[in-house]
Amino acid sequence: DTGVSQNPRHKITKRGQNVTFRCDPISEHNRLYWYRQTLGQGPEFLTYFQNEAQLEKSRLLSDRFSAERPKGSFSTLEIQRTEQGDSAMYLCASRALAGTQETQYFGPGTRLLVL
Amino acid sequence: AQSVTQPDIHITVSEGASLELRCNYSYGATPYLFWYVQSPGQGLQLLLKYFSGDTLVQGIKGFEAEFKRSQSSFNLRKPSVHWSDAAEYFCAWMRSNDYKLSFGAGTTVTVRA
């Protein structure tokens, strides 16, 4: 399967714990995006990378959130000191940089529940 | 601010009936518009996209959408729905500089037998 993969698919944690999610984009896709989706809402942009460079972070991304993309391959999203409000689906997407009409492909998401 | 709005939160349609989902956009220039579908617990799958040219866009799974500048709309249609079309549908627009997607709140489609 050559699509975008995310691990884990589900995560249950207690408030105050740290969690880390991983995203493996489609091979050779330069751009990688993270979105967050809460119940009943559309996905909201969090941050994106071009290769290993993080080019933009949304105001939704508080200081407790950090994302990395070492070597421009997979990416990790870490949430420190989780809060109940962090409960959401975290989606990763990737696209080639070739042009405007390239498709952004989404992974299956990681569903986080903070108790 | 640029945005897309999906006025219908939930639509119920009978199997075999036609379906139309509304999407209105707010953008000065011609926007890049998309429709994605999300099945329960799954990620998003692209149905179709519009950048320019022919205003009637054909997508996968028998869906089509029509861009109407005069109405600032990009409505999604399917002539005959199948039970497997039950899902959540999102309209989105894309910024041309960083290709970031901004989504509407979504429309949940229920298909009854």
Per-run averaged pLDDT (10 residues), chain B, 113 residues: 90 97 86 92 90 92 95 96 96 85 95 94
Separation CA B40–CA B19 (nearest Å): 19
Contact A88, A112 (CB under 8 A): yes
Separation CA B1–CA B55 (nearest Å): 24
Contact B36, B48 (CB under 8 A): no
Mean pLDDT throughout A45-51? 94
Nearest to A106 among B32, B44, B106 (CB): B44
Q: What residues form DSSP beta bridges with B66?
A: B56, B75
Contact A32, A94 (CB under 8 A): yes
Tally Cβ neighbours within 10 Å of residue A98: 9
pLDDT tens readout for residues A90-103: 999 999 876 777 78
Residue A102: the pLDDT is 79
Of residues B18 and A62, more confidence is placed in B18
pLDDT tens readout for residues A27-36: 989 999 999 9
A:18-37 residues touching chain B, CB 8 A cutoff: 31, 33, 35
Residues 6 or more apart in contact with residue B97 via CB below 8 angstroms: none
**Is the per-residue pLDDT at A1 higher than 60?**
no
**Is the per-residue pLDDT at A108 higher than 90?**
yes
Instruction: With cut-offs at 50, 70 and 90, classify the pLDDT of residue A19.
Output: very high
Of residues B62 and A39, more confidence is placed in B62
CA nearest A6 in B: which residue?
B43
Structure tokens at B10: 């939930």
Strands A110-114 and A10-13: parallel
Residue B46 sits at the chain A interface (C-beta within 8 Å): yes
pLDDT, mean over chain A:
93
